[in-house]
Amino acid sequence: MTPYLEIDSLCVGYGATRVLDRVSLAIGKGEMVALLGSSGCGKTTLLRSIAGFVTPESGAIRIEGRDLLALAPEKRGAAMMFQSYALWPHMSVAANIGYGLRMRGWKRDAIDRRVEEMLALLQLEGFGPRSVGALSGGQRQRVALGRALAVSPSLLLLDEPMSNLDYRVRVDLRHELRALQKRIGITAVYVTHDREEALTLADRIAVIDAGRVAQYATPQEVFHRPASPFVAGFMGADNRLTLALRGDGSLALPAAAPEGRSVRAHFRADDARLADAGERGAPGDVTLPGVVEQVYYVGQGYRYRVRTADGEVWVHGGERRDEGTQAAIVVPRASLLVFPAPGP
């Protein structure tokens, strides 16, 4: 696939601090790519570098082979949607959506037609005369998206645009945004720290760790086949065990297989089972004896913090068990994500 947007060995630093370190990504035309990572990892700096608001030290950014770094932000053909929406509070919905068109010198009739197209596209018909201050958070988000799309950008850049919305509204708008992006075929780069959001929206996910790309793959691959312990933990597999890998490929606790090679295994709380003390799983499963230390009700069952000889483990269970109860955690072999043990 010939990339539509290409980021090649991009480096950004502020003084002695390296924010992006040789970041490279290739994004196809019509794809939505999520930049996923914790606060301060460099994902927003990467987005702002594409937009032209940050000047890299080295590397290249190209759209269809055309170098963007020499171009001013307004010449790059990209539209950016900010976390705060950045709407003009004294303007109507229609005036906000048409603002970029007025700055480009469009005639009034052409602006009005384009604004009506955007209102219909975003299911905001009849909202044009309203003040943006009278809208809900979800409606303001749509207005900001309409303003970005009105100028027919070649690239849509979104910086955590749903982080200020209530959960229910956020879930609904994710699906709307994804359907809209696929329908109009625009290439989009979406910054988020929410893995559920990234999994829902993106064709591919770039997991960013301390200014570097830790993994760049489809949501399914990042979730089920993380490339590193960091990615595994970020995608929810934050339980960690030190196990022994036997010569036949089976895994066991080190005490049960002292001849095995030491490995680090990650697994998700909802992939394990909390069983009665002394119970064992199927052949190949790893069983950890432990004591229930904390219990939390989470709506569809309980979340337990269990103390084991290998450290604290979190696990979900459908039945309530009291704190202090002796128990066993059974982890299916297929749920274990195995990596080399960390060096000394």
Domains and CATH numbers, the chain: 5-234 (3.40.50.300), 239-340 (2.40.50.140)
Q: What is the pLDDT along the chain (344 residues), one digit of tens a residue?
A: 689 999 999 999 988 889 999 999 999 999 999 999 998 999 999 999 999 999 999 999 999 999 999 899 988 989 988 877 678 888 899 998 998 888 888 999 999 999 998 898 888 888 899 988 888 888 888 888 888 888 889 999 999 888 777 888 788 888 888 988 998 899 999 999 999 999 999 999 999 999 999 999 999 999 999 999 999 999 999 999 988 888 888 888 887 767 778 899 999 999 999 999 988 888 889 999 999 999 999 988 999 999 998 889 999 988 899 999 999 999 999 999 999 987 65
DSSP 51-92: HTSS--SEEEEEETTEE-TTS-GGGS-EEEE-TT----TTSB
- DSSP annotation of 214: E
On whether the pTM is more than 0.85, the answer is yes
Phi and psi at residue 79, in whole multiples of 5°? -120, 140
Where do the DSSP E strands lie in the chain?
5-14, 17-27, 32-36, 58-63, 66-67, 78-81, 155-159, 187-192, 204-209, 212-217, 239-245, 251-252, 261-267, 273-276, 286-297, 302-308, 311-317, 326-331, 337-340
What values do phi and psi take at 181, rounded to 5?
Answer: -60, -40
